[in-house]
Amino acid sequence: MSFASVPVEDLNRPVPPYRHNPSAWSQRIPICLLAFVAALISSHLSLYQWDLIDSTWDPVFGDGSNRVLKSDTAKSMYGLLGIHDAALGVLAYLGDAILGFAGSPRRWQYRPWLVILFGIDVIPLGIVSVILVVLQAFVVGEWCFLCLVTATISLILVYWAWDEVRVSLAYLRIVWVDNHDWRLLWDAFWGNRQEKLDMAAEQLLSREVK
């Protein structure tokens, strides 16, 4: 098999167990756009936590958002992390958007490290968002409308990103099971091209979709 450029239609082949290619632009661009929206929302919340604006926009809970963002819990998190949670959200969501745009429609094979890094950014952020919502309900006793919006976006991002992470891990597993070679697995992780790795990818692509 030649390692020359693969035709785009081949790059976009569906990857079992899915009937689509999780690395396709049609899958990733919505993730990136939604992450960018969440970054903008978090920027607004961050401006309030940094005392750069007088209040946050909240059409549902009124001043509840302000009380959540300036609560003792938020201050404790700032003391622990050295950065406000909303500002940390800005960085994380921008990371989602940047990592989502990077790589080709076959990056699940050619850049597994990038897909896994993308998953490490997206999935923990979803977990943290759920924890923050629980803290609003049971510790702070107030609700923040835009915080709930970003938490919802985080969970959607986890749902949309998981399939790509899954197929990259499945590809790496095939490489290991078929060869039991740490160096080959390392090459696969970094996206180095060689015949055995292309065979592993083809094995995954040839699986029956149930």
| Cα–Cα distance, 81 to 58 (Å, whole number) | 26
Confidence at residue 136, expressed as pLDDT on a 0 to 100 scale: 86
Average pLDDT over residues 181-200: 94
Contact at 8 Å (CB) between 21 and 27? yes
State the DSSP H helix or E strand holding residue 210, giving kind and residue range, or none if neither. Answer: none
Q: Where are the domains of the chain?
A: 20-162
Q: What's the mean pLDDT in 45-54?
A: 95
**Quick one: pLDDT band at residue 132, thresholds 50, 70, 90?**
confident
Q: Indicate the average pLDDT of the chain.
A: 91
The whole-number pLDDT of residue 9 equals 53
pLDDT bucket at 210, cuts 50 / 70 / 90: low
Mean pLDDT to the nearest integer, 22-35:
95
CA pair distance 174, 94, nearest whole angstrom: 32
> What is the pTM (predicted TM-score) of this model?
0.88
- Using the 8-state DSSP alphabet, how is residue 138 labeled? I
pLDDT, tens digit (0-9, with 9 covering 90-100), for 134-167: 888 888 888 999 999 999 999 999 999 999 999 9
Cα distance from N-terminal residue to C-terminal residue, the chain? 28
The predicted model gives 3-10 an average pLDDT of 52
Q: How many helices (H) and strands (E) does the chain have?
A: 10, 0
Name the more confident of 197 and 128.
197
- Under CATH, which number does the domain 20-162 receive? 1.20.1440.130
